Amino acid sequence: MHYRYAMVSMVGSFLSFFRDYQQRFDLADFEREVSRDFDSQEITKVTEEAEKRAKELVTSKEELLKVIGYIDLTTLAGDDTKDRVTALLDRAVAPYAKDAAVKCGAVCVYPARVADVKAHMKKKGYKLNIASVAAGFPSGQYRLESRLLEIELAVADGATEIDIVINRAAALDDDWTTVYNEVRAMKSACGSAHLKTILATGELKSLNNVYKASWASILAGSDFIKTSTGKETVNATIEVSFVMLSAIKRWHQLTGKKVGFKPAGGIKTATEALTYVALVEKVLGKEWLNPSLFRIGASSLLDDVLKKL
């Protein structure tokens, strides 16, 4: 009973935080920043350059090993069990038998499986990031109170990174104040855990909306912005990634602060992954190519990388 009261009190404090921030989003400044168009010819050129560079990088063992370090090794199935997620952790910690130093960037699981991963990690003495898709993943169509509570509980169970999804209904209604306020509240709910904000770009209808969603999420304090849940009809693409990276670049130019980037959904081959590596290098520079600023959400990518090694 005390636990239930504590949870209610915690949600109340989050909602108080949420209300405090509702007056801090300057919509006029936001609209001035995001009123830009994207040149399709420029995007086509950058895409072709990235694809060409990827074909060169895929022949390099060093680059392939780096890709492993970027992977958030993921299972997000309705029939995930304790045995499945602990096996996932075992694999993420030691994916490449020839080099014990090689590890994935994180494992990514549903909130209900975080405690299983954490207990197995403690038992085995592992050190690895635990990411969880909290906050009403993948639809986000839940009350804010429940989304905040899910984040808090996942962190309490051991998650060090939280992958949330924005309110697409608000985004499609052009209500960027709500998008900002909710992400800001979820950032607070994360506490010490890093926040990776999923834009679900395949549902945002336009590149301009992708930029707006990127900018609102960055303003709200996201540590990373992420393309997709992996559950949309269209997931990560080079086109939307270029737009998101442009927002990250703009933020860095204005503030000197770095925000990470995570493409996810449908990235299954080493060449595809290295296309995103090449794109990040092109837009942001090599300094972004480390697991603290670049991840790839994937479940089967590791298999293809290992085959090429």
CA 303 vs CA 128, 276, 300: distances in Å = 19, 18, 6
Task: Report the distance separating Cα 121 and Cα 89, nearest Å.
Answer: 8
Regions of the chain where pLDDT drops below 50: 1-6, 8-9, 14, 17-18, 20-23
What's the confidence (pLDDT) of residue 50?
97
Token digits of residue 36? 């830009």
Token digits of residue 179? 């998008």
What's the confidence (pLDDT) of residue 36?
84
Token digits of residue 273? 């992954």
Length in residues, the chain = 309
Task: Report the distance separating Cα 260 and Cα 245, nearest Å.
Answer: 9
> DSSP per residue over 18-87, as a string?
HHHHTT---HHHHHHHH-----HHHHHHHHHHHHHHHHHHTT-HHHHHHHHHHEEEE---TT--HHHHHH
Which residues are catalytic, by number? 163, 226, 262
Task: Report the distance separating Cα 88 and Cα 85, nearest Å.
Answer: 5
What's the confidence (pLDDT) of residue 24?
74
- Residue with token string 């239930």: 4
What's the confidence (pLDDT) of residue 4?
42
What's the confidence (pLDDT) of residue 25?
87
What's the confidence (pLDDT) of residue 203?
97
By CB atoms closer than 10 A (0-12, 13-18, 19+), residue 252 is middle
Those residues with Cβ within 8 angstroms of residue 202's Cβ, 6 or more apart along the chain or in another chain: 228, 232, 233, 234, 235
What's the confidence (pLDDT) of residue 23?
47
Order of strands across the sheet with 296-298? Answer: 260-262, 224-226, 194-198, 161-165, 129-132, 106-109, 71-74, 296-298
